[in-house]
Amino acid sequence: MHVIKGNRILAVHPRRGAQAAVCDILARHGHACTHASTAQKALERIETMRPGIVIIHCDLEDMPGVDLCAKIRARSDLRDVPVIMISERSDLSLRLKGFMAGAQKFLCEPVDEKELLAQVEAVAARARPGAKPRGIAKLIERELKAGLLL
């Protein structure tokens, strides 16, 4: 599988095992991933690493993930940084809150590796002027055309 590589990604998740799993998937596919377990630590890491993408779990200990997303969006220097939200819950109201806070994508746990990579690729492609989706997006497109996916 070939994805747009080299993104600096911050994964914000309250559980270390889930942080490690997400960062491992991303690292195996050429991304630099750093993690944080709270919104406060995430804001500190954002200052030092300047991520290209932020992945935020909805249920953080010190504030809801959608509030962290809104804080990121409120800053003019971070307004264009893509945000992907993750949650154990898939209810529509939570997804809508995430989108209203500025998230571009929303994933449900357990996170599927192919879906995570596809979503990272999609937001990375939109964040780069003139970039076109490759890799998993092309594979999905071929499978859709062949009738393998519904």
Q: Domains of the chain, with CATH numbers?
A: 8-145 (3.40.50.2300)
| Predicted TM-score (pTM) of this structure | 0.82
* Contact between residue 4 and residue 135 where contact means Cβ atoms under 8 Å apart: yes
State residue 1's pLDDT score.
37
Nearest residue to 110 via CA among 27, 10, 13 = 13
For residue 98, what are the contacts with CB-CB under 8 A and spacing of at least 6? 58, 65, 66, 69, 85, 87, 106
| 23 close to 113: Cβ distance less than 8 angstroms | no
Q: Is the pLDDT of residue 146 over 80?
A: no
Q: Are 63 and 16 in contact (CB under 8 A)?
A: no
pLDDT of 41 > 60? The answer is yes
* pLDDT for position 110: 92
pLDDT tens string 82-122: 999 999 998 899 999 999 999 999 999 999 999 999 999 99
